[in-house]
Amino acid sequence: MSSNNTRLWTWHVLAGLILVVLLGLHMFGMHLNDLFHLESLNPEGGSPIDWANVAARAQAIGQVVFYILFLGFALYHGLYGLRNILLELNPSEGMAKFISRGILIAGVILFAFGTWAAIAARSTALAAL
């Protein structure tokens, strides 16, 4: 149990600050679209979850990069926070190790799956054109 908490925590805060920007953009595009219309996120007009808009976003390479970065920072920030809460519940040393490893593995799997989804969505959207 000698993880460098200074480093882990610094990344947690950094990821949080980056997320304010990335998640902020995402929320503007998805849920404040009627107030502030962002043309590049919803080029086809209408609802942000209409297939036309989804496909337009999915095939833009910038959006794919955005999604993968967003996914990584959000998973790190969220899962580090979850780990913190669980470790503060005073688990035994073995349990604490199990929690840390379990969360790390879950994070890697979710990141791999999400990255695959972002890349595969591009092919699907391009094929549907």
Partner 1 sequence: MSNENEKLQNFIFRVRRFDPGKDSEPYYEDFVVPCGPGMVVLDGLWYIKEHLDPTLSWRSSCRMGVCGSCGMLLNGKPHLACHTQVRDISKDILLVAPLPNFNIVRDLVPDLAPMLEKHRKLNTRIIREDIEEVLEPTDQYWQDPEDLTAYLQFAYCIKCGCCMAACPTLATDDVYSGPMPLTQGYRYLIDTRDGAFRERAKLLSSEIGPWRCHYAGECSAVCPKGVDPARAIQLMKRELVWDLVKLGKRRHQKPVGLLPKENRATERREGIAEAPEFTIEGATSPAE
Partner 2 sequence: MPEIKQYPNKLGLKGWVVGGKWGPERYLYTLHRVTGLGILLYFVMHIFVTATRSISQELWERTMAGVSGTFFLVGEYLVFVAFAFHALNGLRLALIELGVLTGPAEEPIYPYKSSLNVQRPYMVVMMILAAAVVLAGGYDFFIATGH
Residues that bind partner 2 (CB under 8 A): 13, 16-17, 19-20, 23-24, 27, 31-35, 46-47, 49, 51, 54-55, 58, 71, 74-75, 78-79, 81-82, 85, 89, 110, 113-114, 116-118, 120-121, 124-125, 128
Question: Which of 34, 36, 62, 90 is the binder for partner 1 (CB under 8 A)?
Answer: 90
Q: What is the DSSP letter of 46?
A: S
Task: For 25-61, give one letter per residue: b (16+ CB within 10 A) or e.
Answer: ebeebeeebeeeeeeebbeeeeebeeeebbbbbbbbe
Instruction: Report in angstroms how near the CB of residue 71 gets to partner 1 at its nearest.
Output: 24
CB of 21 to partner 1, least distance (A): 19
Lookup: tokens for 72: 């990584």
